Every structure is written in structure tokens, then in C-alpha cells.
Structure 1
Amino acid sequence: MAAKEKYAEPTYLECGFGELEYKVIAPQVCCRCGTCEAFCPRIEHKNNRPALVNYDPLCGLCFAYCPRTFLDMSEMESGLFGRTRNANDEPLGVFQKAASAQARERQDKAQDGGVATALLVHALESGVIDCAVVTDRDDEWRTVARVATTADEIKDAAGTKYTISNSVFAIKDAMESGYQKIGFVGTPCQIQALRKVQLLKEPYEFGQKRIALLVGLFCMENFDYDELMDGLVKGRFALNPKDVSRFEIKKGMFRVIDKAGKAHEVKIEETDAYTFKGCGPCFDFASELADISVGSVGSSDGWSTVLTRTNLGERLYASALAGGVVQEKAISEKGLALAKRLAGNKALRFECKSQEMNLSGIVR
């Protein structure tokens, strides 16, 4: 008689939505990444937060994959890169190459060098992915996650939105539509959640192997939509959100560009009142668990800083260079030092917030 098959049990069995509510949602630690809503059929997005809409089986899935319940970066780095960072000289995390890059065909809506958009389009056209989950917006700048399946759809969603989006939820849409190689571009907290989905040894199966590429963005913090629009755009600048053409952060200033081309700006520290509270307990500036990370800090105007991290990210970037999709130049020592300094500053802020908010589960 064959031996009885042994079935693994979730590590976080009985840590259900109630535990998530108590430890993450109620104390405003939730980053609204959309992961629990994407992979649990009993959780939906209601009133700007995850909500349980059916019975709770206490399976532990939502608790396990939330980036705010626990996050052991050493374990994640070992599983992804085969090594951990040197804490003394790798504040940007593990990476293979750092460069300044620029898309050869810049899109009007693209941010800085347009590299994130160009890499996603290249990944789609070269077969690395068969769709990309991107964050678009409506005409009042509310974020909308979409599944893009053509180069034009990816390009249409270009540009930084600067307000919270539960973009991971759209991976569910991509999976339900049958896509097998899903690309994703997003913020550090969203990348953290998806790496937990991929790397944790939990017995949940919902097609996570179809997540094929993670492009991470640099992010110091994000903004609450209502606070930013009511307090700054409508309040201080007397602008209708429909009249805004883009947002950008340049040289310590937060800038709102209207459709007439006029820039309305404030010092970045004056935007603290509009910061989303769930960004406080985050230490990751440069999307340290992405395949490839992209941001403006460290590069000159019109260029993007690129950090290739995994072998996949390195191959994609090298292919884009060889194919003339992007061009590069060496990143300056001063520019890289600036990026490292901001990464260090965010890590220090995390330590302060962890004590202030009494957080013990998130591990640096």
C-alpha cells in the first residue's frame, strides 16, 4: 500500500482577515497595494481599503503575502539573488549594474528618461511578457490599474501618478484573462508583496508562476489622493484636477504643471500633510526586490537611473541597449551617492516610524 500523501499546511493558518485588520488595516499600516484583494476571492476593495465580503476560512493567505505583516529582506535577497547585501555599502540593495539611460523614442507622457515604459514595450515585443499591468489615471488623476496588451496601451499609461493605487489587483484580471507571462511596473511596496507571493514557501496556488517580470520604481513616499487634490491642487493652487497635465518632483520641489504649461510648485517638505500614512513603515526607496529598478534620482534632467538586479533584468536591459530601444551613459559618482543617501534616509525614517507605530514584524 502506498504511503499516505502528506499535504503541507500554511504557516499562517488561522491568521485570517481579522488579524490583518487588527495589525495592518486599522492602525493605518496598510499600503493599499491590492495584493490581498487580488489573490483572495473573499476580499474586495471598498471605501479605499481592503474589506472582507464573505466568510473567513482563516487560511492565512492575506496575512502571508501582505508586505506589512513581515518582510525578512535577508531571506528575500537570498532567494532572489543568491546572496544578501553588504549592509555597509549597498543601501540601494543588490544590483548588477547602475547607469543613466534614456528611451530613444520618448513619449510625451513618460517621466524623466521614459525608460520604464520603453523596457515594458521591449519586453512585450520580444516575448518576455504577453501583457503588462500598468497604472493609468482618469481625467481627474485618480489612479486606475489596467492590463496593457499592446505597445500603445503601455505608452498611454506612462508617467508617474504620485497617488496610492492598488495596482496589484489588476494581476488578477490578467490571470483571469489567460495571460501566461505577466509584466508589472510599480512601487517598492507592490514589488515586495509580489516577491512574497513568488518566494514564500506557502502551499497556495493561484498561478503566481505566471508573474514574469517586475519593474520597480524609485519612491520616497506616495500621496493620498483626496489630501493632495483638496489640500494642494484645489486648495493652494486653485486648480481643477482636470486642468493638470503632469506632476513631477525636481530638485527638492513638488511641481504641478497645468495644461497651459505653467508650473505651480512647493518645497517637497511642505507636502508632508498630504503623504499617505501607510507609506510611513516602508524602508525601500529603490524597489530593491525588482528585476530592474528605474527612477530619476541620480541622473540629469531627461534621463533615468537604472539598476539591473536579477539576471532577467540584466538581460532585458542589455537587449534594449543592443536593439537601440534605450541609450545609456555612465552615472556620475555624485548622482549614485545621492540615490544612496536618499535610500539611507528612508531606511532611517522607517526605523523611527517602526518605534512610533510599534511595529515589530517588518524586518529590514
Structure 2
Amino acid sequence: MLNNAIATPALQPFQELEQSVWKKEMCAGCRGCITVCPANTLAYDLKLARPYQITPCVDCKACLDACPRTPANMDKLSLDILGPHLDVYNVKATAGNKRYQNGGAVTALLKTALDEGLVDRVIVMGADRWAQKAYARVVSDSSSLDRAAGSIYMNNDALETMKDIMKDDSIRNVAIVGTPCAIQSIGLLRKSSNEYSVKLTQKIRFAIGLFCFESFDDRLIPEVTKRLGVPSWRIAKMNAGEGRLTVTLRSGEVKTLPLSSLAEFVKPGCRKCNDFTSKLADISVGSVGSAAGSSVVITRTPEGAGLLEIAREVGAIDVAGGVDVAAIEKVGKLKLKKNGF
């Protein structure tokens, strides 16, 4: 007897992501799938906070390797808070800047990487200081890095900037700064043998990950300025921690808002994140557990340790011990609990 059942057509890779990640509001917004795709199949919808298809898929499956939120890839990610590492330090830049937060360690490390010829470009999130809107910046001159200093709590398209860099043969090595979701994508791609994954990651010499509890969508700034009664251009910097958003104005005045009152502006995908300390980075940097005026720096790979040592040797940073690891563990566990892990 003939079997008349119609076989279900196999899903294309982007359709697998659509069903298992995007429609379930699990997308991290890291843009790893968009970045690695050789056919430019995907673009990012800021309102929906997820990618969508714009051109035919070539079925290379690189996007599946890149996504940190597929069930298969989430199973690969440990729930250990601190993650694999070599050492943990208190670090602060020897040269200051009013926009530096918690010691300016990230900026000092990036300046060292450029000035010492370790990388050709660095990719960071900057901000339009008038509207306070975030955007990715590709920097080739260390003197320009101070303009991008300070924490950015919206948008996360730094990784997508690698699409153009991959096409530029004059750029051999880059350092990129990202939140845990972007770093997870880079880490997954580094472990992939897919030719498009290899092409992308072979140019990333240093992946610098940030501690991150959650991030916000683009509605945050209009809400903050409305509640504080100030125009966006008066904001000098913002810092989220200890249950509040601290806003420093250009005048030096400091205002705060409870983070709990801003919950509706948290990106949906952040509620599915299981990484606080960017465990797949070469170096992770954060404020929790640090000494006053310093950043916590976790070296995780020989490359990360080498960059830190060079920065210390050239006098760009001061390095000390005394990190409160228990504080990091506490906040990391709180994030896991809040997100259902």
C-alpha cells in the first residue's frame, strides 16, 4: 500500500531561529546571525527586537552556530557565575576622563591595543550626546576613544559592524567590546568550523565582555528625561547598579531612578539571559565587586592576559588585587533567579 502522507518540508536555518527563538521573545539582539550570514538574508527590526528575512537563504547554517538562544546552544553555556578565568583584578586607568566609569579600564585597554599596534580597529558602542542614542563606532585612533567612554544601556549592534570589516582586507585584527549576548555569539562562532564563522572570528583578536544585568530599548531615554524634567543633552553619563539608574548631568548634579520602575523598558530577550560576566570573552570588565574608582577585570584567555600585561607595562593602568568575588557571585545568582534559571 502506498504511503500518501505528504512529507513536511525541512525548515531553512532562519526559519528554525524564527520558531525556536524569535517568536518566543528569546532573541538577545546580538545580531550574530545577521553578521555571519554570507547572503545578507537577515535585517534587524528595532520595534520587534528581533531579525527578519529580507533575501533568500543559502542554507549555510552559520546563523544557527551564532545564536546564543537556540536550545542547543543554551545547553552548551554553563550557569557558573564567574566562568573560566586566569585571574581577577582591580584595574583603573592612569589617565582620567570625566566620562570614565569605574576606573576607565576598558578605554585604557583599547587605547593600549591601538597604540601598541595589537589591533587595527576597535569596535565600541558610542552615543549621540545630544539625543543619547546609542550606535556602534569603529575607531582607528586611540585619541577618539574618550568620546565613546561611559556605559551604554541601549542598543547592541557592535557585532554587526564586523560585516564591513570582514570585507576589508586592510583590517587584519580588531578588538570588540560587547555585552554577554554578543560575547556568547562570538564564543560560539569561535568554536564553529563553518567557513563563514571562521572568516568572521579570525579577525577578532580581543573580545572584551561587559558585566550586564539587563539592557533597555530605545524608549528609555525619552522616559528618563521626562521623569527627571531635563533635556537629553544635559545628561553627561548614566550608571545602572545597586537597584537604581544613576544619571549625572553636565552640571555635576546627580539624579536617580529605581530600576524596578523602568522594568517595562527592558528588552524582552534580556529576560532569557544566563550570563552576567561575559564568560566567553578574552577579558571581562565590570563594576560589581570592585574597589572604589576601579573596575573588576577578569582575564580568561592568554590573549586577554597578554593585553592586560602590556597595558600595565606601558603605564596605561594600575592593577591590584582585593576583588570582592562574593559580590559578583551574589549579583550573578540574582540574575539567574530573576530569569528563571
Q: Quick check: TM above 0.5?
A: yes
TM-superposed CA distance for 1:201, in Å, is: 2.9
Among all aligned residue pairs of Structure 1 and Structure 2, give the percentage whose two residues are the same amino acid: 29
SS of corresponding position for 2:202: helix
Partner of 1:37: 34
What SS does the corresponding residue of 1:51 show, helix, strand or coil? strand
1:122 aligns with 2:123: no
Per the normalisation by structure 1, the TM-score is 0.83
Match of 1:322 among 291, 300, 313: 313
Distance 1:207 1:221 in 2: 26
Q: 2:146 & 2:227 partners in 1: Cα distance?
A: 31
SS at match of 1:135: strand
- What is aligned with 2:259? 268
Residue 173 of structure 2 corresponds to residue 181 of structure 1: yes
Count of aligned residue pairs for this structure pair: 325
Instruction: Assess if the C-alpha contact under 8 Å between 1:42 and 1:55 holds in 2.
Output: yes
Q: Which runs of 5+ in 1 are unaligned?
A: 1-12, 77-84, 353-364
Q: For residues 48-105 of structure 1, what are the alpha-carbon distances to aligned partners after superposition, in whole Å with 9 as ceiling and x for unaligned?
A: 44221111233322222111114657857xxxxxxxx8x7xx5311111111110001
Query: Contact 1:292–1:309 (CA<8 Å) still a contact in 2?
Result: yes
C-alpha separation in 2, matches of 1:319 and 1:142? 33
> Separation in 2 of the partners of 1:273 and 1:143?
19
Distance 2:187 2:118 in 1: 18
Conserved? CA contact 1:305–1:331, under 8 Å: no
CA drift at 1:180:
0.8
SS of 2:144's partner is helix
- Cα distance, 1:51–1:75 mapped onto 2, change above 3 Å: closer
Decide whether the 8 Å contact of 1:181 with 1:211 is kept in 2. Answer: yes
Is there any run of 5+ residues in structure 2 with no aligned partner, and where?
1-9
Distance in 2 between the 1:300 and 1:207 partners?
36
> 1:55 corresponds to which letter in structure 2?
P
User: How many angstroms apart in 1 are the aligned matches of 2:93 and 2:113?
Assistant: 14
Kindly indicate whether residue 67 of structure 2 is the aligned counterpart of residue 66 of structure 1.
yes
Q: 1:104/1:74 Cα in 2 relative to 1: closer, same or farther (>3 Å)?
A: farther
What amino acid does structure 2 have at the position aligned with 1:217? L
Letter in 1 for 2:286: G
3-state SS in 2 of match to 1:133:
strand
CA shift for structure 1 position 220:
0.6
CA distance in structure 1 between the partners assigned to 2:35 and 2:194 by the alignment: 17
TM-score by length of 2: 0.88
CA RMSD for the aligned pairs? 2.1
In 2, distance between residues paired with 1:211 and 1:271? 34
Task: Evaluate the alpha carbon distance shift between residue 73 and residue 318 of structure 1 in structure 2; reply closer, same or farther with a 3 A threshold.
Answer: farther
Q: How far is the alpha carbon of 1:26 from its aligned partner?
A: 2.3
Question: Please, which of 210, 217, 223 is the counterpart of residue 224 of structure 1?
Answer: 217
Change (3 A) 1:120 1:71: farther
C-alpha separation between the residues in 1 aligned to 2:302 and 2:145? 23
State how far apart, in whole Å, the 1-side matches of 2:113 and 2:69 are.
Answer: 30
- Tell me, what secondary structure is at the counterpart of 2:88? strand
Distance 1:74 1:321 in 2: 37
Matched, 1:338 2:327: yes
Alignment deviations for residues 167-204 of structure 1 (CA, whole Å, 9 cap, x no partner): 11111122223311011011010000011111123343
Read off the aligned partner of 2:327 and give its amino acid letter.
L
- Check the 8 A contact 1:137/1:144 in 2, yes or no: yes
Alignment partners' CA distance in 2, 1:250 and 1:34: 26
Question: Paired residue for 1:190, among 182, 185, 189?
Answer: 182
What is the letter of the counterpart of residue 273 of structure 1? Answer: E
Quick one: which amino acid aligns to residue 348 of structure 1? Answer: K
Q: Given residue 330 of structure 1, which amino acid in structure 2 is its aligned partner? A: G
SS in 1 for 2:68: coil
Question: Does the residue aligned with 1:242 lie in a helix, a strand or coil?
Answer: helix
Q: Any runs of at least 4 consecutive aligned residues in structure 1 with deviations exceeding 6 A, and if so which?
A: none
Q: Which residue number in structure 1 is paired with residue 92 of structure 2?
A: 102
**Could you list the per-position Cα deviations for residues 248-267 of structure 1 after superposition, in whole angstroms to 9, with x for gaps in the alignment?**
13543211122222222123
Equivalent residue letter for 2:188 = K
Q: Relative to structure 2, which stretch is displaced further, 127-136 or 270-279?
A: 270-279
